[in-house]
Chain A
């Protein structure tokens, strides 16, 4: 039984077709990378899987629940219990410090725990920036807060939209190590959108998108060889 089953999803905007019938499956504990040209529909797909957006038609079944059919409140519970998400842009609450931005996710999930939040920031290399506000941090640092926030509630499924887009090779490696560790030890399921071929060498599978379709689905190993 796959963790994620996406069934012929179509997403139409008034002016554009973002997804034109996408189907895919992700097994529990799998790490899937999505690649493709800009505008091909990667973020849209990720948002729909995360319950942040709804499809025009089609089903998204996660853990045998069709999330397209959930009510608003059930969706909120679904998001906080199952999903950790890293956005393409760093969305942070401007008046909260780094730690607080992580803690607020804990708060919505269950209980805010400052030491745990600090630890999470230390893991992404922000141990020295705990009480800075987003405007006082670099783009990469902001992105790392988002990663810490996404991981803090130990979600079953981590959705990441270009998590390393703003990072240098050193920090990218650090994040990838972190993800690898979560993947192998805690059996996180990861769906990661990236343009970076170095990043896509990690994980199990690569989906390639073009113009709202998945045009290729291949294992990582094949590519490497």
Chain B
């Protein structure tokens, strides 16, 4: 009987029910999509930030003063792949080894010394102990590098930094002599940093030419990290064993650096703090910002839904009074309207959740070029909170209707 009445009531109040359901659906959609965004924004922005350059630098360990000035110290390039075997291997999104050497450049009638760096531009290397490859090289670390001209192809093409290019009047397409070997400049690079004065060529041929097979002078690593907190800034040396374990197993830039250091023989790995420190701060701010927005949207939409519910039910005060006049007891009336509220909550929550998938997906694609992670957990949460809000919205009007003697209302009092 109750179900029957509710069904009738829905049909009878199509517009009003539609309004309430729409209001709840939109409120839920807003909140659910904001939650989806806020849960994922840190990960997305963190990925985004990773394209701005490496946050870990691996270099040969400094043993004495002499090691600082010269660059005759090397890491083994066979250790590079091992980075993909450490605990945080999945967080390592970019690896770029460099071999720095001096070379004699002659071009445009001029001759002089330049820094010649061997590098991978984009190289597939097999994953250790697993099937498949991963991509390493400059493009995975400095995705913002813009080459005027094009990236080199084959071992006879090189990139010239702009300062060097200007100094020797080189433009893309030119042919120059490096250490007496003829190579073609496929493009020029401008970073505003020291790289502007360098030349870049493929790593392997340079190793061969210089007799430095299997050697690199530094490796830049780009890793997704957990923002540094106070604990992370503690000196690992002074940590207790359990603290050290916790630190080691958290994806702080320092602990990932530590693990990178363990992988490379005779190395010292350090966070590039300019990047790493900012990243944590920015992430923290952005997440906080979105959380706060989420909270205020939640509050606003909860109240907004309640106002709709109240407004919609106030017009049915008369109906409640009539039921009361016909002998319905409080509980029957409360159950009827609560049940209605719950049904509306379920429908609104469900639509709202579905709607939120579209909205957050769109936001993700638009802003981060990839969809956001949709969480099925949000469905019960969405429906649950929609039910609570819509049931809460029925309380005030029902109380009002129940507290008034039916006679007065039936005569048209509002």
Indicate yes or no for A touching B, C-beta below 8 A. yes
A residues apposed to B, CB below 8 Å: 92, 94-95, 133-137, 142
In the complex the two chains form, what is the Cα distance from A208 to B413 in whole Å?
37
In the complex, which residues of chain B have a beta carbon less than 8 angstroms from the beta carbon of A92?
412
Q: Given known contacts A94-B413, A95-B414, A134-B411, what 5 new A-B pairs fall within 8 Å (CB)? A: A94-B412, A133-B413, A135-B409, A135-B411, A135-B413
Residues of B at under 8 Å CB distance from A?
408-409, 411-414
The CA of A107 and the CA of B349, in the complex, are separated in Å by 46
Q: List 7 A-B contacts (CB under 8 A).
A: A94-B412, A94-B413, A135-B408, A135-B409, A135-B413, A135-B414, A137-B411
Closest residue of chain A to B409, judged by CB?
Answer: A135
Residue from A95, A135, A137 with most neighbouring chain B CB atoms (10 Å): A135
Residue among B408, B409, B411 with most chain A CB within 10 A: B411
Q: Give the top 4 A-B pairs by smallest Cβ distance, nearest first.
A: A135-B413, A135-B411, A135-B412, A94-B412
- Which residues of chain B have C-beta atoms less than 8 A from A142's C-beta? 412
Distance A142 CA – B408 CA, assembled complex (angstroms): 14
B401: min CB distance to chain A, Å: 15
CB distance from B412 to the nearest CB of A (A): 5
Q: Which residue of B lies closest to A91 (CB)?
A: B412
Closest B-chain residue to A135, C-beta based? B413
What's the nearest-Cβ distance from chain B to residue A13, in Å? 17
Chain B residues in 8 Å Cβ range of A134: 411-412
* Residues of A with C-beta under 8 A to B412: 92, 94, 134-135, 142
Cα distance A79–B256 when bound, in Å? 84
Q: Looking at the assembled complex, report how far the CB atom of B208 sits from the nearest CB atom of chain A, in whole angstroms.
A: 90
Chain B residue, CB-CB nearest to A93: B412
User: Which residues in A have their C-beta under 8 angstroms from that of B413?
Assistant: 94, 133, 135
B304 to chain A, nearest CB (A): 25
CA distance A95 to B412 in the complex (A): 9
CA distance A142 to B409 in the complex (A): 15
B409 partner residues in chain A, CB cutoff 8 A = 135
Taking CB atoms, residues of chain A closer than 8 Å to B414 are 94-95, 135
Closest-CB distance, B125 to chain A (whole angstroms): 74
Q: How far is the CB of A97 from chain B (nearest CB, A)?
A: 13
Q: How far is the CB of B205 from chain A (nearest CB, A)?
A: 86
A95 to B409, CA, bound (A): 13
Q: What is the bound-complex CA distance between A136 and B413, given in angstroms?
A: 8
Chain B min CB distance to A144 (Å)? 15
Q: Which residue of A lies closest to B407 (CB)?
A: A135
Shortest CB-to-CB span from A96 to chain B, Å, is: 11
